[in-house]
Amino acid sequence: MSKSPVPMFLPAPGEGKRGEDGHMGYLLRQAAHAYRQRAETALADLDLTPPQFTVLTMLAAYPGLSGADLARLALLTPQTIAVIVGNLDRAGLITREPHPVHGRILAISLTAPGRAVLAKARSRMQTLDDSLLAGLDADHETVVRRWLVTVALPTET
């Protein structure tokens, strides 16, 4: 019985199945992983993680969200949101107050320090996004954005 050959090297991003011939799902995951690493580096000295940045961004766009709403919008589990919200609260970046109609629900909003940290983080993330779009004209950017949105839409079964 012969053994399968073991590759002598691992392909770098862009090579072999990590390149244009790779499966689309893998290529999306590879790109998301690279983006996450770059985002972690960009936000590190602000003591902010990419998921925390996402939560702050969603709260800036939609103030007064509940933890459950944040979990859905940020694509995170309720347990993860609970940890993130607790950390952001301890850092003074958010406030939690009883919802005006549903008293058991806590409405979460940004504080002034939260808005200031988010402004710094947005600037860095915009630089990162600009690097993603380098070499694309406006029409191609629109196509990529539409495609990404379409990929994320629920499928009919």
Confidence of residue 1 (pLDDT cuts 50, 70, 90): low
Neighbours of 5 (CB within 10 A): 6
pLDDT on residue 18: 87
Look at the alpha carbons of 74, 80, 86, 87 in this order and tell me if their dihedral is positive or negative.
negative
pLDDT on residue 133: 94
pLDDT over threshold 80, residue 37? yes
Taking residues 51-67, what's their average pLDDT? 96
pTM of structure: 0.86
pLDDT over threshold 80, residue 102? no
Cα dihedral 99→101→102→105 (10° resolution): -10
Tell me which CATH code domain 47-131 carries.
Answer: 1.10.10.10
From the list 75, 65, 44, the residue with the least C-alpha distance to 109 is: 65
Confidence of residue 5 (pLDDT cuts 50, 70, 90): confident
Q: What is the mean pLDDT of the chain?
A: 92
pLDDT on residue 72: 95
Q: Where are the domains of the chain?
A: 47-131
